[in-house]
Amino acid sequence: MKGTFQRLLFLPILAFLVFACEEPMREDPFVGVGAARWDVGKSANFLLSDDRFTAMEIEIAYMEGFRPTNFMMDEMTNFLQDLTLKPDGIHVIEKEIPAEGEEFYTTAHLSELENRYRESYNEGDTVSVFLLVVDGYFRQNEEEYFTIGAAYRNTSMALFGKRIAENSGGFRRPGRGNLEATVALHELGHLLGLVNVGSEMVTPHEASDEDHKFHCDNEDCLMFWAVETSNVLNFMQNSVPELDENCRNDLRANGGR
């Protein structure tokens, strides 16, 4: 009699446990490959603030012959240290990948290369950024915009090494490190949500021209549209342009420093 009573009490508990185990484990949507498949600007707050991620890793994969300058890598780290809250540090890892030998790269091709070579994804307290340096030019919508760099996903950006080589060094041209750093910081600015692409504008300052959406209206600002194209040569000085007050304010308002 006593045994039956115990069994009756025990069975419902067991049933409950089995049911609880069948409930699928909730996956963290902010880590791993899935969290690197969003649109540009959608990780701005994760990159800027220390609410979810307290460290940052930048993985640079460059094609043979297109290793970025140390100057560019240092500038990227300094830029991010100035603007973001990452008390556990910002860390750069670099690696060489085989040259593809293509003249033009589409966004689809960049994504495919990223799938093949990217190893660093958001994990634990670390948010990750991927920079791909390719040996050719960018082709978007069958047209060629003399693009030097592009941000193409929430934590992914690319530099077009051939354009950099063509447009730097020599007479009346910026040094390669300067040009590379300028474009890399501009693309990082997009990942941080500038302009109006993930970090809300405190004061309206997006270029009114339809062709230059998501860029700053101040031509002295790092986020002016021409900065990522060959047009940068027309106004580039001997140093990397800085973010203007409007852009800085947007980043502060979205959790940045």
How many chain residues are in contact with Zn ion, going by CB under 5 A?
Answer: 7
Taking CB under 5 A as the criterion, which residues in 174-233 touch Zn ion? 216, 218, 221, 223, 228
Between 73 and 197, name the residue whose CB sits nearer to Zn ion. Answer: 197
For residues 104 and 82, give the distance between their C-alpha atoms in angstroms, rounded to a whole number.
34
Rule CB under 5 A: say whether 247 interacts with Zn ion: yes
Between 115 and 239, name the residue whose CB sits nearer to Zn ion. Answer: 239
Give one DSSP letter per residue of 43-90, joined into a string: THHHHH-SSS-SEEEEEEEEETT-PPPHHHHHHHHHHHHHHS--TT-E
Between 120 and 149, name the residue whose CB sits nearer to Zn ion. Answer: 149
For residues 164 and 148, give the distance between their C-alpha atoms in angstroms, rounded to a whole number.
6
Binding residue for Zn ion, selected from 59, 114, 135, 244, defined by CB under 5 A: 244
Rule CB under 5 A: say whether 148 interacts with Zn ion: no
Between 73 and 157, name the residue whose CB sits nearer to Zn ion. Answer: 157
Smallest separation, CB 180 to Zn ion (Å) = 15
Sign of CA dihedral 47, 255, 30, 222: negative
Residue type, 247: C
Rule CB under 5 A: say whether 250 interacts with Zn ion: no
Q: Two tokens at 110?
A: 């960049």
For Zn ion, the binding residues (CB under 5 A) are 216, 218, 221, 223, 228, 244, 247
